[in-house]
Structure 1
Amino acid sequence: MTSPRLRDIQAVLFDLDGTLFDRETAVREVVAGQHAAFSGELDGVTRERFVGRMLELDAHGYGDKSEIYPRLVRELGLPEPLAARLHAHFWDAYAQVAPAMPGARATLAALRARGRRLGVVTNGRVRVQEGKLRALDLLGALDVVLISEREQLRKPDPAIFRRALERLGVRAEQACYVGDHPMKDAQGARDAGLHAVWLRTPHFPPPEAAHTAIDDLGELLALV
């Protein structure tokens, strides 16, 4: 069922990973590629075991890669120096893949055509996050991009959302924020006074705060 229409929305802000960028697909593709690239050094570890355990440790992006790879090679009984090489390979390969979430490009284009101002507020490193937006060919579609490393603020701190509003020149009640994480996205945006739109995901429980929920980015077009 479609959620009630949001009123007077002039700007739509988005999370990046899991909202515009299909991070789950990207990581699975990269890790599967690692198994193939390093197969001669994996001592017979199956693709299923290597990929499955790596995805568990990754925890949908909330695992630290610098800690994950040493743990992975220890658990699999592999040579310790392999961890650093896998870690470096991950980031090199990750920069080359750019799967968009379903409907991402079409939704942004439609919102832009309706005169909405658009932006991204994301945690992460500038090089990595801007690289994703560039690979997705979305940088030109956005009025503002706030990345935690550059801003020295991280979601769910309301200050990073308020900074985005200032740069867009809109009030909190005139903006909504779309993201998949119940705390960093939905709660953070709500605390900053924006309309919080939660993109449902099986990876996280629903936000405790009141929110609008959608299953697909295209549903935004019926809301704003």
Structure 2
Amino acid sequence: MTVPTTAPVDAVLFDLDDTLCRYRRSPATVLERAFERAGVDPLFEPSAYYDRYDDYLEDSSSVADLRERCFGDLAVEAGFERDAGIAVAEAFAAERDQRAVDPLSGVPDVLETLGEEYRLGLVTDGDPGMQREKLAAVGLTNAFDTTVFAGYDTAPKPDPEPFGRALAALETDPERAVYVGNSLSSDVAGARATGIRSVWVPPGPDFPAEPTPCPDYTLESLADLEQPPWLES
């Protein structure tokens, strides 16, 4: 979809994980501890879980249910009993503290500055209870005019549905909104499919010179949003 870039912006939507906040412990560290806690050898790599996460999102009743389904399947595929994968999922939940997150650099100031000029929305994949805990931990509970929990309220990203629901709540049109996120496949692709301009904040310094799909704007850090790039277009 071709995204118009000339209309003035009146709404800014955000992703949450690794865009506004980040866990203090990496998924690899938590999974390693979960294997130890469950008393089993490593059954799969952390990347296997995150590669398959979206496959279970829409049909799971909670993140605990999602992990049990996913870890159970991964265990079976690796030649282990399903119960071993479920035990690791339970251990992972015990090790993962949703409050053990920190805001990324510049987040509170950026949201405060943008909130004076634009309506703000959050579109995040994830269990509502889990995501609310993160928002509370980083002081962002009341930062947004609307929040959509994709995969629970709607289809998961990059489906246009969660973005469209946020736009409807903010009473704005796609061409008058931008979406800020760290994932090309989820955030940028979903924004483009909806007709929203995308702002990509790469998760690290080693990012492709020609990202696919191509975002409308690429920033080195979220702090750069204090001078919105769409005003320079």
**TM > 0.5 fold call:** yes
Distance 1:13 1:61 in 2: 25
Which secondary structure state, in structure 2, belongs to the residue aligned with residue 184 of structure 1? helix
Distance 2:207 2:14 in 1: 17
Question: 1:54 maps to what in 2?
Answer: 45
What are the Cα deviations for residues 138-185 of structure 1, in whole angstroms up to 9, with x where unaligned? 121111110124423222222321221111122222211011221321
Question: 1:156 maps to what in 2?
Answer: 158
**Aligned partners of 1:13 and 1:121 also within 8 Å:** yes
Question: 2:141 maps to what in 1?
Answer: 139
Distance 2:217 2:32 in 1: 35
Q: Which amino acid aligns with 1:30?
A: V
Q: Is the alpha carbon distance of 1:21 and 1:58 closer, same or farther for their aligned partners in structure 2, counting shifts above 3 Å?
A: farther
Offset of 1:87 from its aligned partner? Answer: 0.5
Which secondary structure state, in structure 2, belongs to the residue aligned with residue 68 of structure 1? helix
- When structure 1 is superposed on structure 2, of 13-22 and 103-112 the one drifting more is 103-112
Which secondary structure state, in structure 2, belongs to the residue aligned with residue 58 of structure 1? helix
Q: Which amino acid aligns with 1:222?
A: Q
Q: Which amino acid aligns with 1:57?
A: A
Question: 1:12 maps to what in 2?
Answer: 12
Question: 2:216 maps to what in 1?
Answer: 211
User: How many residues in Structure 1 have an aligned counterpart in Structure 2?
Assistant: 209
Which secondary structure state, in structure 2, belongs to the residue aligned with residue 120 of structure 1? strand
Question: 2:200 maps to what in 1?
Answer: 198
Which secondary structure state, in structure 1, belongs to the residue aligned with residue 218 of structure 2? strand
C-alpha RMSD of the superposition: 3.4
Question: 2:63 maps to what in 1?
Answer: none
Structure 2 alignment gaps of length 5 or more: 57-66
**Aligned partners of 1:74 and 1:80 also within 8 Å:** no
Q: Which amino acid aligns with 1:22?
A: R
Offset of 1:35 from its aligned partner? Answer: 5.6
The structure with the largest helix share of the pair is 1
- TM-score, normalised relative to structure 1: 0.74
Which secondary structure state, in structure 1, belongs to the residue aligned with residue 30 of structure 2? helix
Q: Summarize the alignment of residues 21-32 of structure 1 with structure 2, pairs less than 5 Å apart.
A: 21-22=21-22, 25-32=25-32
Q: Summarize the alignment of residues 54-93 of structure 1 with structure 2, pairs less than 5 Å apart.
A: 54-59=45-50, 62=53, 65=67, 66-68=69-71, 71=74, 81-93=83-95
Q: Is the alpha carbon distance of 1:15 and 1:170 closer, same or farther for their aligned partners in structure 2, counting shifts above 3 Å?
A: same
Q: Which amino acid aligns with 2:170?
A: L
Distance 1:60 1:134 in 2: 27
Select 1:223's aligned residue among 219, 223, 228: 228
Which secondary structure state, in structure 2, belongs to the residue aligned with residue 177 of structure 1? strand
Q: Which amino acid aligns with 2:120?
A: L
Structure 1 alignment gaps of length 5 or more: none
- When structure 1 is superposed on structure 2, of 161-170 and 21-30 the one drifting more is 21-30
Q: Is the alpha carbon distance of 1:117 and 1:60 closer, same or farther for their aligned partners in structure 2, counting shifts above 3 Å?
A: farther
